Structure 1
Amino acid sequence: MRPRSGGFRRAVLPALAVTPLPADAPRRRIAYDPRNPLARPFASQLGAFRSGTSTPRAFLEECLDTLTRDEPAIAAFVTLGLDAARASADAATARWREGRPLSLVDGMPIAVKDMIETIDMPTQMNSPIFAGWQSRRDAACVAAMRQAGAVIVGKSVTTEFACGNSGPTRNPYDSARTPGGSSSGSAASVGAGMVSMGFGTQTHGSTIRPAGYCGAYGLKPSLGALHTGGLAPLGPTLDHLGIIAASLEDAWTSAKAIASIAGGTPPHPGMRGPMETPAALRPATLVRLNTLGWAETPASSQAAFEAAVSAIAAAGVTILDASNDAGVAALEAELARIDDYATDLLAWESRAALGAYRAHGDHMVGARVHDLLERAAGMDTARYERGLAGRQRLRDLVAGFAGRVQGFVMLSSSGPAIADHAYTGSRNYALPWTMVAAPSISLPLLVDQELPLGLQIAGFAEGDAETCAIGAWLRDTLLKH
């Protein structure tokens, strides 16, 4: 990628491990209630838009009031485009008034992760190398959401190249804690109620984990189901476009708007399923997974998960786990060893892009970039192929459950957001279904230490609609419990 001058623009400042907030930045701690979160759903407003009792412009102003009040404490955005957002909301208001909205997301305020190109704002990737860089085009997902009538509020903070140094963003429920990464600003802005949807990406865990930390819904679709054109590439066989949203309905309708207009990443035709959110569906059988993350999960978070699993079972769902099913035990054994080959795949596939960034000078990229490049330098094609074989072994184990179960349930993260801004948290719960390349959804239904704790429902490849339907049932069941 090149800046407008036609050649790379060398920045003069080195990459920072964590971009600091001002010393006088406000501090906040708010107890999380999954029945009354800070998030501001858009789908629940559609009836008011149709009746004329509210408008997209009025809804946007509510979001912007929150942004104005809370952004100093949260630092979710790199760039704002509020004049254009208000103009877009006014246009959406006119369409709803005339009874001709463009889509179910017409007028939805959204944030665009700063790894994703926008024609009207810079895409800087939390790197001094790309300070002020503008591509003069929209990514496929951005173009699709504009065509569907969405209102782009601004560009949200990412970690460096979606894999490295953290930005300044804080968790909306506790500013002493991370929002997760790499989709830090999108998760925080949605969780705080500044926007109803934020684009994420996920190459290892960058949609599911931050959504869980910030009290938002996170949808990682089947690999390729949403077009990744215009996203800065990292790992071509790993990169997913993700959706972080204020409600399950907002996540689904946003994803379907993109799929219906832009399709999937070729040759994928696009995410399958209805335009409206699938109706809630009670599964007959679910697999409960501990994954590699269980050993690092605090006892209080384990207890919250166990209570949720018990409630699911009490509602009539059969639960399989490693203690009662040999297939689950085999899957857990494979999950216990995925970290090495998952990191090998990322290092090998990202080495060209990250190497080009490091060519600007060792001081221009952070430690994580150096670490991945060092790992790749120690690899050969045979080691990469062993990683691919390991991933296929995992996929085959998951596929073997088709017809026996309807999904897999696990946590979204190893406890609530950690009190660290340099580290965005363990990926051990989010990583497995990136490797599986099938859909997973983080549901903000659990609480630990008065902080959000995501419950993850995962499905089979191309079963995005079924996974969403089960997610809706879990939400309805657990919020009533």
Structure 2
Amino acid sequence: MSKRINLDASLAVIASELRSGSWPLLDYLALLEERFNEREPNVLSFVPEDGRFHRLQQEARELLAKYPNPAERPSLFGIPLGVKDIFQVDGFTTQAGSQLPTDILQGSEAPSVTTLRQAGALILGKTVTTEFAYFGPGPTRNPYNPAHTPGGSSSGSAAAVGAGIAPLTFGTQTIGSVNRPAAFCGTVGYKPTYNRIDKSGVLPLSVSLDHVGCFTNDVAGMELVTGLLCQHWQLVVTEKKPVLGIPEGHYLQKASDEGRKHFRRLCRRLHDAGFVVKSVEAMPDFDKIYARHNLIVAAEAARFHADWFAKHAEKYHPKTAELIQRGQKITDNQLKKAVAGRTELRETLMQLMDRHGLDLWLSPSAPGAAPVGLDSTGDPVMNLPWTHSGLPTLTLPAGKNKDGLPLGLQLTGRWFGDEAMLSFASQIEPILAAD
């Protein structure tokens, strides 16, 4: 029976087959263990754990005993879940990619994790993060080419899904830490409307900008999870083709030549497929948005880490230390003014959407494909304004470059329009997959 198990199926398919018992859970985990042992040593997406699959098999047996009747099994019955190592998870030590004493980093389990556990998910393990979800990289490699970065800060979460060793992972985004690594690793990456997924129990980088997000291998799988995690979720199914907007101007110039050319090709393909695609001048003050966002990150990181940094400064990665030191110089008034600018940007972008009848913004998920080298996680500039505004975003895999590295398309929806964004994404996804 296990021969019929497809580890690369959609999360929605895997969940259905495990719930029904068509794929015996223990057989599925045995196959996943084989793949994990084959691929993980080359990707290094998970925090090492002794006896990982022995633990999982035991937890699976307990789950089977709890839910012997398939009709009563919850929606994520037996789904292995990778959790970025800034989330608190009962039974696991939080290290946050850092060298700080672990005892000061622990806390109560994140409600987002508890929610998916209650839906039947099994914790596959903690995934590698950059130090405190900033730019100090961990050991994770890109699953398409180990000489290239997987992106960050949700490095391990994106790489695990991209490598096919986890069907579902948690990440976070403060600048571009979901959408960028999703593009680099060829996965779907979702960042919700700001605060729509509970972010308590997650070590913050910037309390005003942090978002909890997820990675899956397709939109159908993401829709299964978002309905569980997002507050007041209302399923939207529409056959109406969305009107798509291209935010022309200084922002798009931040993409590389390769990235812009690929993006324009995707826009033409969507137009040829019957979507209305409009060019709209947007964000003429992009440099100010960029500076304001980075000011908030630095200031709020400095405030959160104040006590730890005073005691353990020498244990911080140089990139994190520089951020904190920069943030220490920012006054409360400067921070308050910068935070207020988030609402102004969101209102401006929404007004443009209303004026031009747009359902979604389209943009590159990253300047280009994943850069070579592991010392940097790449530039999150293409994600920054959408995170700053708090609007929901989704990265869709959108082909590969001449070197075989993935490229992504970033969709941005309306404020609390996550449901419509995902419904529209299910129309766009097959067109991109044809690349």
TM-score of the two chains, using structure 1 as the length reference: 0.82
SS in 2 for 1:395: helix
Aligned equivalent of 1:135, options 106, 124, 138: 106
Alpha-carbon distance change, 293 to 85 in structure 1, aligned in 2, over 3 angstroms = farther
Structure 1 partner of 2:27? 58
Structure 2 partner of 1:305? 263
Q: Is the 8 A contact 2:135 2:376 kept in 1?
A: no
SS in 1 for 2:70: coil
Deviations 1:219-260 (A, max 9, x none): 10011111111100221111111111122222222232234x
Alpha-carbon distance change, 347 to 292 in structure 1, aligned in 2, over 3 angstroms = farther
Structure 2 partner of 1:186? 157
Distance in 2 (CA, whole Å) between partners of 1:290 and 1:428 is: 15
Q: Is the 8 A contact 2:250 2:284 kept in 1?
A: no
Aligned equivalent of 1:199, options 149, 165, 170: 170
Distance in 2 (CA, whole Å) between partners of 1:377 and 1:52 is: 55
Alpha-carbon distance change, 315 to 104 in structure 1, aligned in 2, over 3 angstroms = same
Structure 1 partner of 2:233? 272
Kindly state the Cα deviation for residue 415 of structure 1 after the two structures are TM-superposed.
0.6
Deviations 1:286-332 (A, max 9, x none): 111357564343333322211110111112222221xxxxxx32x23
Distance in 2 (CA, whole Å) between partners of 1:134 and 1:121 is: 12
Deviations 1:336-391 (A, max 9, x none): 43210001111122212222232233321122222222322332233223323432
Q: Which runs of 5+ in 2 are unaligned?
A: 1-5
Distance in 2 (CA, whole Å) between partners of 1:283 and 1:66 is: 39
Aligned equivalent of 2:341, options 371, 378, 390: 390
Kindly state the Cα deviation for residue 46 of structure 1 after the two structures are TM-superposed.
4.3
Q: Is the 8 A contact 1:281 1:472 kept in 2?
A: no
Q: 232-241 vs 385-394, which deviates more?
A: 385-394
SS in 1 for 2:78: coil
Distance in 1 (CA, whole Å) between partners of 2:240 and 2:320 is: 43
1:474 counterpart = 2:428:
yes
Matched positions, count: 425
1:245 counterpart = 2:198:
no
SS in 2 for 1:338: helix
Aligned equivalent of 1:422, options 370, 375, 383: 375
TM-score of the two chains, using structure 2 as the length reference: 0.91
Q: Is the 8 A contact 1:49 1:97 kept in 2?
A: no
Aligned equivalent of 2:246, options 283, 288, 312: 288
Aligned equivalent of 1:457, options 396, 411, 419: 411
Q: Which runs of 5+ in 1 are unaligned?
A: 1-36, 260-269, 322-327
Aligned equivalent of 1:74, options 40, 43, 50: 43
- Matches of residues 251-400 of structure 1 in structure 2 within 5 Å? 251-259=222-230, 270-274=231-235, 278-279=236-237, 281-289=239-247, 294-321=252-279, 328-329=280-281, 331-400=282-351
Query: How much identity, in percent, do the aligned residues show?
Result: 28
CA RMSD for the aligned pairs?
A: 2.4
Alpha-carbon distance change, 136 to 395 in structure 1, aligned in 2, over 3 angstroms = closer
Deviations 1:107-158 (A, max 9, x none): 1111010000111111001111134777363211111111110011110100
Distance in 1 (CA, whole Å) between partners of 2:45 and 2:262 is: 28
Q: Is the 8 A contact 1:202 1:239 kept in 2?
A: yes
- Matches of residues 103-118 of structure 1 in structure 2 within 5 Å? 103-118=74-89
Alpha-carbon distance change, 387 to 74 in structure 1, aligned in 2, over 3 angstroms = same
SS in 2 for 1:454: strand
Structure 2 partner of 1:224? 195
Structure 2 partner of 1:6? none
SS in 1 for 2:95: coil
Distance in 1 (CA, whole Å) between partners of 2:335 and 2:39 is: 45
Kindly state the Cα deviation for residue 466 of structure 1 after the two structures are TM-superposed.
0.3
Alpha-carbon distance change, 307 to 227 in structure 1, aligned in 2, over 3 angstroms = same
Structure 1 partner of 2:3? none
- Counterpart residue type for residue 378 of structure 2: G
Q: Is the 8 A contact 2:83 2:125 kept in 1?
A: yes
Alpha-carbon distance change, 369 to 399 in structure 1, aligned in 2, over 3 angstroms = same
The structure richer in helix per residue is: 2
Distance in 2 (CA, whole Å) between partners of 1:62 and 1:418 is: 32
Distance in 2 (CA, whole Å) between partners of 1:179 and 1:280 is: 34
- Counterpart residue type for residue 203 of structure 1: T
Q: Is the 8 A contact 1:187 1:214 kept in 2?
A: yes
Distance in 2 (CA, whole Å) between partners of 1:291 and 1:431 is: 15
